[in-house]
Amino acid sequence: MEDAPIGERTLVMWIKGSVQGMPSSAVHWLVILKSQMNPFTKALAVGLRSRRLKAFVARWDALEALVVRVYRAGSATPEDERCFAGLKAWLNRHYPEWQARLETHWRAAMRAGRPCADDPFRALLAVARAGDFCGSRAYLQALPAAREALNHLILDESAP
């Protein structure tokens, strides 16, 4: 991860990562803005030592922001589609490392007012393209359970 300034926007970081199925020289840059970072998670992650978990959280924050943005806009731009493809590929590769520990937490979370019965991370990563988030409240309803699980994992990993 590299810090880099960009115009009038307040940039937190650029995340560099190749997209699965593309040549290794193909690189996507994902911009994560402060306004997109979950402030509670950011506060919790201050004491987090795991760079791998920090990278996972940063990309999940970007995915969450993209889901909300596309849902609100009612359409996905070509940039949204490219960004989603990069995030989805990276998160699908790295989610298995955290999946078992996150499951404990998402099973205790609520989704649409009921106990979470299925993996909210997998539900969002199974989406074919960013445009599929348009008009689907089910995807929005998966976000809080995933966020709660992620926050609990961060607390677990930050404990002395």
pLDDT digits (tens, 9 = 90+) for 83-141: 999 999 999 999 999 999 999 999 988 887 888 889 999 999 999 999 999 988 899 99
- Judge contact between 67 and 38, C-beta under 8 A: no
- Judge contact between 134 and 127, C-beta under 8 A: no
pTM score, whole prediction: 0.75
- Judge contact between 68 and 124, C-beta under 8 A: no
Beta partners for residue 16, in sequence order:
29
